[in-house]
Chain A
Amino acid sequence: DVKVTQSSRYLVKRTGEKVFLECVQDMDHENMFWYRQDPGLGLRLIYFSYDVKMKEKGDIPEGYSVSREKKERFSLILESASTNQTSMYLCASSSSGQGKETQYFGPGTRLLVL
């Protein structure tokens, strides 16, 4: 089974702090994604990466950056956390296929910014 793990299930940070959310997948997937999920807004894509050291902006990249130094690891960085970044953050990975790609999600990190 594909396993996607996230460094923390719950995190509490203060406004202005730099926050790192780590995601690791064990299936040698090329693609990795960061989403945030908020009530009434569904899942929204923040950033994704097709390969090591490559990144693409999703729908809501403002206030976030990412790092992919190794294939299995994709980090989401909140440079200066703000209260409106309180959310559930979900990491996913997938393998580039022939039109039948499936994303595998981690358990999520619930971040509270005070």
Chain B
Amino acid sequence: LAKTTQPISMDSYEGQEVNITCSHNNIATNDYITWYQQFPSQGPRFIIQGYKTKVTNEVASLFIPADRKSSTLSLPRVSLSDTAVYYCLVGPNQGGKLIFGQGTELSVKP
């Protein structure tokens, strides 16, 4: 499974757009890129998943360049409730073994 690297922490203010970038230089052809969000004392929650280009849902957007060696999670107009740890995962996602890295601790300030 491909290793991922993402910033340990980020700070933002309410209303700003937040972009969290994840590096995955060893991504394989059949790997998908998935982001999870985790609030304190809760289990991780799926946010978004993509293979290439851009994916958007009601929560976030995921930008993946052509070489797929990195990806960027974009959270539009964050609020205090977006304060959480965000994990980037890369894998074939078949049979389920996921490797969670350290994640990015996002702190949104008023």
Contact = CB atoms under 8 A, between A and B. Distances in A.
A101 B94 contact: yes
Interface string A60-103: 00000000000000000000000000001011101011111111
| Main DSSP-derived SS at the B contact region | loop
Nearest to A9: B41
A100 B44 contact: no
Interface in B66-110: 92-98, 100-103
Interface residues of B, number: 21
Nearest to B102: A42
A27 interface: no
Contact of B100 (A40, A42, A88): A42
B46 interface: yes
Interface residues of A, number: 31
B57 interface: no
B32 A103 contact: no
- Which of A44, A94, A98, A101 counts the most chain B CB atoms within 10 A? A101
Interface string A28-72: 000101010000101111001010000000100000000000000
Interface in B26-42: 30, 32, 34, 41-42
B61 interface: no
A99 B43 contact: no
Interface in B48-78: 49
B42 to A, nearest CB: 6
5 contacts: A42-B101, A44-B100, A45-B98, A100-B32, A102-B34
Interface of A: 4, 31, 33, 35, 40, 42-45, 48, 50, 58, 88, 90-92, 94, 96-108, 110
Interface of B: 30, 32, 34, 41-46, 49, 92-98, 100-103
